[in-house]
Amino acid sequence: MAKMVSVASYNTSGVGGGRKPLGKASPLANSFSLIDYDKDHRFLIMDCPTNSTIPLYLKEFARLNVTDVVRVCEPTYQKERVESRNVRVHDLPFKDGDVPPASVLRQWRELLAARVSETASRAAAGGVAAGGSGTESEGDGEPTTIAVHCVAGLGRAPVLVAVALIERGMDPLDAIEHVRHKRRGAFNNRQIMYLAETYKRSSAGFKAASKIGLSIRSTPISSVSPAPSHSDDAAAPAAATAATTTAGNNNNTAAATTTTTTTAGAAEHAKATADADLALMGVHKSSFFRKIFGMF
């Protein structure tokens, strides 16, 4: 079962040459959520950077060993600035508040399978070079991280992370609850119903895909799905202001910016969260009765 850690409390002091942990003093502490995928890989759900705030994100990407950034909203920053730091940017946009189309799911699964396969290949090569069996894992090092963001990191990005957890074998309801536990307000009604009732785990799965030698992507992938609007994810319009005007300001000013919101936006966010909670309760009841009466 995946273990989720808040970046605000995540400590990297024991790895990577004594890196300092990302503490609550960071303006990004409240907009990052780390979710472990396995011992060698993890996800970082976040809101969208801008050209003015990208330096802050790049600094934390280095701390968290981010190798890829998947953006599912329209571009809000120049990807060249990220790729210059050896971090690959992948554009997989889909409609705001919606569920991912088949083309996005396919490319997302391919990316994850490729990274798992890539890690296994490096570990095998290292084991053979050291005179071992070639089956050792590189789990002794810091996990690699795939960052995923939409606008506020509360709709489209969490859906992709939940899909990854489901593909790895987690029960859909557990995946939803685990993501929401660390990312309060994640998912809207439609996304919850999609993950719990509609989405079906691929037959191959990531592990099987890596075993049959899935080709490793060395260049970013791009989606052919329609570009979404620049509006916030349906479940979280209030959080879209997080860390968007912090460049050139001190940390206190930046931290205040991440919590700035309008009264109307906060009310809408609260309502969307409450509606999603009710939807999840309905899914639980539906699944319970299906299991009791043998409808599965």
The residues carrying an active-site annotation are: 96, 150
Task: Residue 131: count other Cβ atoms within 10 Å of its Cβ.
Answer: 7
The sign of the CA dihedral 68, 72, 75, 76 is negative
Rounded to the nearest angstrom, the gap between the alpha carbon of residue 3 and the centroid of all alpha carbons in its chain is 13
The residues pairing with 145 across neighbouring beta strands, listed in sequence order, are 42, 66
Give the span between the Cα atoms of 196 and 189, in whole angstroms: 11
- Output the CA angle 234-37-145, nearest 5 degrees: 80
Q: For residue 31, what is the DSSP state? A: G
Whose tokens are 């920053």? That residue is: 77
Any idea what DSSP says for residue 227? Answer: P
Q: CA angle 235-194-211, nearest 5°?
A: 115
Q: How far apart are the first and last CA of the chain?
A: 23
